Amino acid sequence: MSIQNKVALVTGAASGIGRAAAFLLAREGADVLIADSDAAGAQNVCDAIVAQGGRAGWAVCDLGEADQIRSLVGRALAQYERIDVLVHAAGICRAAPLLDLSDEQWRETLRINLDGTFFLTRDVGRAMAARGSGTMILLTSDRGVYGSIDYAHYAASKGGMIALTRSLALALGKHGVTVNGLNPGMTDTPLARGANPLSWDAKVAADVLGKASLPEEIAQTILFLAGTGGAYTTGQILGTRIRHGQ
């Protein structure tokens, strides 16, 4: 199943995994709408895709805010008439030991990573269900499965996203819509490098493959789920690494 001429909304596409996914989907012939809170970053990615001959637009949006998400989805539908693929890669990951976590740190991470995911997938899900087709790929995390001492708020948000992924798959399957989560494992992005309290090199050495993934490699799995895989796979949480404890 090709993604040629599909409409893809890619969040968090100013950086990292979302950025790599936006480039790859555009290269494969999709119309890509980039959404991020970083306006300059989103515009740069959009300009670079267009300069390479791809089709892209961009929108600034705080993906933790329901009203901004509603406007984003409304704009996408007004401009493209449909959303075939949603790649939701916007998210934050900020270290704080569990017992030192403030109310504000907890709420901010849950607001962006979990509340925003619900608002976005509900609004996009309504449009996809009404049309009878679509696929969603949500960037989740191994920490949402295994927990974390220094990222309990992040782990809780990602665990919530995993449960939401499965609920969306159950609710939307009969409407022709598939929904999958992707735990990318340690991937070389500003988020991963900035969030690690241990040195990056020590984390890489501890990895079972002894290396971090590249965003471009994770984008290949996103492409698979956006196309062929998304036709018959739903409610799955794909990972990239076997785990041997935190």
Q: Which is nearer to ligand NAD, 129 or 214 (CB)?
A: 214
Q: Does 63 bind ligand NAD (CB under 6 A)?
A: yes
Residue 144: Cβ-neighbour burial (10 angstroms; 0-12, 13-18, 19+): buried
- The two tokens of residue 203 are 């984390």
Cβ proximity to ligand NAD: between 58 and 178 the closer is: 58
80 catalytic per annotation: no
Among 30, 33, 90, 120, binds ligand NAD (CB under 6 A): 90
CA atoms in the 13 A half-sphere facing the CB of 141: 28
Handedness of CA 82, 88, 92, 97 (dihedral sign): positive
| Amino acid sitting at position 63 | L
Which span (14-22, 46-54, 78-86, 236-244) binds ligand NAD, by CB under 6 A?
14-22
Provide the 10 A C-beta neighbour count for residue 55: 15
Q: Which residues is 181 bridged to in the sheet?
A: 138, 237
Q: Which of 6, 21, 30, 37 binds ligand NAD (CB under 6 A)?
A: 37
Q: Which of 80, 146, 151, 154 is catalytic?
A: 154
Binding map of ligand NAD across residues 178-217, x = CB under 6 A, - = no contact: ------x-xx-xxxx-------------------------
38 makes contact with ligand NAD (CB under 6 A): yes
Of 133 and 240, which CB lies nearer to ligand NAD in the complex structure? Answer: 240
DSSP string, 158-226: HHHHHHHHHHHHHHHGGGTEEEEEE---SB-SHHHHHH-SS-HHHHHHHSTTSSPBPHHHHHHHHHHHH
Q: Footprint of ligand NAD on this chain (CB under 6 A)?
A: 12, 14-18, 36-38, 41, 61-64, 89-93, 112, 139, 141, 184, 186-187, 189-192
